[in-house]
């Protein structure tokens, strides 16, 4: 396999590569959202659990996310078109991050109706997660318990990490792969 830049492809080849990327992302999002909506709110019940258990679950979700991110970085480094592979990775890990937090908020809401200003369903939990991620924070849904406020604060901090470090990591993986493919000058 030869590592190539997207700009090195013929116009038709480039279009097909972009279409493939869009198709992969569309399928990935469809599967992710379908799994999210088909998973019952209490599948990982927060009920009968204290703060420590909540943070263990959050830690497990973070470890799962980190493992998927590492696998994506490896795929970029080994890809024929690392630039498009980096776009695919970003297009998958960001929605995954959002769905993981939305699932977590959904579980918290179903453990106690007083966790947020309103009971969350799948759509409201995803909406709340996206408003936190985008820093819009309309204020229509807010955390009411200290545990929920802490989890939302953790998401806000991780949002910054995701936007900064993760994007940089994936783009560096693509650049590294392209640099290795360049013949040494001299």
Instruction: Kindly state whether residue 105 falls inside one of the protein's structural domains.
Output: yes
Query: Model confidence over 141-171: pLDDT tens digits?
Result: 999 999 899 989 989 998 988 888 877 877 7
Q: What is the CATH number of the domain that holds 48?
A: 1.10.287.70
Predicted TM-score (pTM) of the model is: 0.82
Instruction: Kindly state whether residue 38 falls inside one of the protein's structural domains.
Output: yes
Instruction: Kindly state whether residue 186 falls inside one of the protein's structural domains.
Output: no
The domain tally of the chain equals 1
Query: Model confidence over 1-60: pLDDT tens digits?
Result: 788 888 888 999 999 999 999 999 999 999 999 999 998 876 555 444 456 666 777 788
Instruction: Kindly state whether residue 54 falls inside one of the protein's structural domains.
Output: yes
Q: Which residues have a Cβ under 8 Å from the Cβ of 83 and sit 6 or more positions away?
A: 5, 6, 174, 178
Instruction: Kindly state whether residue 11 falls inside one of the protein's structural domains.
Output: yes
Instruction: Kindly state whether residue 1 falls inside one of the protein's structural domains.
Output: no
* Enclosing domain of residue 38: 6-181
Query: Model confidence over 66-119: pLDDT tens digits?
Result: 898 899 889 888 889 888 888 898 889 899 999 999 998 998 898 888 999 999
Alpha carbons 135 and 148: distance in angstroms, whole number: 17
Query: HSE on the CB side for 137, CA within 13 Å?
Result: 9
Q: Are residues 81 and 17 in contact, defined by beta-carbon separation less than 8 angstroms? A: yes
Instruction: Kindly state whether residue 27 falls inside one of the protein's structural domains.
Output: yes
């Amino acid at each position: 396999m030869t590592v190539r830049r997207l700009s090195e492809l013929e116009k038709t080849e480039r279009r097909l590569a972009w279409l493939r990327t869009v198709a992969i992302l569309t399928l990935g999002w469809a599967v992710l959202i379908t799994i999210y909506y088909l998973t019952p709110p209490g599948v990982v019940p927060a009920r009968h659990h204290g703060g420590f258990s909540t943070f263990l679950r959050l830690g497990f979700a973070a470890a799962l996310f980190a493992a998927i991110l590492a696998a994506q970085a490896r795929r970029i480094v080994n890809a024929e078109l690392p630039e498009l592979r980096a776009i695919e990775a970003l297009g998958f890990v960001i929605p995954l991050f959002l769905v993981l937090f939305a699932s977590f908020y959904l579980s918290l809401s179903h453990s106690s109706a007083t966790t947020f200003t309103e009971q969350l369903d799948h759509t409201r939990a995803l909406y709340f997660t996206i408003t936190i991620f985008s820093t819009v924070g309309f204020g229509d849904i807010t955390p009411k318990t200290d545990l929920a406020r802490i989890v939302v604060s953790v998401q806000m901090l991780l949002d910054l990490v995701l936007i900064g470090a993760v994007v940089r990591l994936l783009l560096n993986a693509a650049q590294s792969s392209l640099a290795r493919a360049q013949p040494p000058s001299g």
